[in-house]
Amino acid sequence: MIIEIQLITPSTCRSAARVLGAAFVNDPVAVASYPGYISDRLVQALTIDFLAELEVCIRRGYPIQVNNNGTVMAAALIYPPRCYPLPWVDRWMIQLKSIIGNGLYDIRNWLKWLKEVEKYHPKEAHFYLEYLGVDPQHQGMRIGTYLLQHLTAKADVEGVGCYLENASPRNIPFYQRVGFTILAQKEVIGIPTWFMWRPPRGTPPPALNGESGTMTSSIELS
């Protein structure tokens, strides 16, 4: 099977959003943000949210997807150095589209999560991996690792680190295998959260703070 990493575009962002919605259906932050939502309804709500996030990331960040014969298998929202945090107007539009798309719901847990985790972004220049998800039907095929290796190779070329927040303990070894280490563990909205950093080669971890055009690369999976 030949898979490709490609930039997410306006024509593919809906497919990428659906993949992310399905991938995050059991994520503790997603469950806390939509209490009482059953699986299908939660996937639908998350897909709406990820679509809004992707529309912003296409303009300001580096969103990428794993593609196989026209099928999106995985996606990631990444912000290059100095592209995050987002301007207030983009953050406001993401929240507004969530409310319009999902109807009135208690958005406070999501807003509290965002407010708290933003306090811990490193001061050093870095790529911020905001979200990474693999379609449940294609998990266990090293696709997520392939995405991470693409990101870390890009960061090494630019001589900067990579940073993420992780609220799922089962994902810690996944990130550690490509060089991420835990900077800190804290509870955010009652959820254990790990702040993780992958330095460029040969550099120490940072202190916690209190590509336009077309692109494609491919790999063959056995």
Bridge partners, residue 74, by sequence: 66, 134
Output the CA–CA distances (angstroms, integers) from residue 204 to 111, 152, 160, 222, in the order listed: 32, 15, 11, 36
pLDDT band at 175 (very low <50, low <70, confident <90, very high): very high
What CA–CA distance (Å, rounded) separates 219 from 167?
Answer: 29
**d(Cα 59, Cα 211) in Å, to the nearest integer?**
11
Please return the burial class of 142, using the count of CB atoms within 10 Å of its CB with bins 0-12, 13-18 and 19+: middle
Question: What domains does the chain contain, in order, with CATH numbers?
Answer: 2-212 (3.40.630.30)
pLDDT computed for residue 3 by the predictor: 87
d(CA 71, CA 24): 19
Does residue 2 have a pLDDT over 90?
no
Q: Is the pLDDT of residue 218 over 60?
A: no
How confident is the model over 9-33, as a mean pLDDT?
Answer: 97
Answer yes or no: is pLDDT of 142 > 60. Answer: yes
Give the Cα separation of 14 and 19 in Å (integer): 9
pLDDT at 219: 45
CA–CA dist 13, 19 (Å, integer): 10
Q: Which amino acid is at 32?
A: A
Mean pLDDT of 46-58: 98
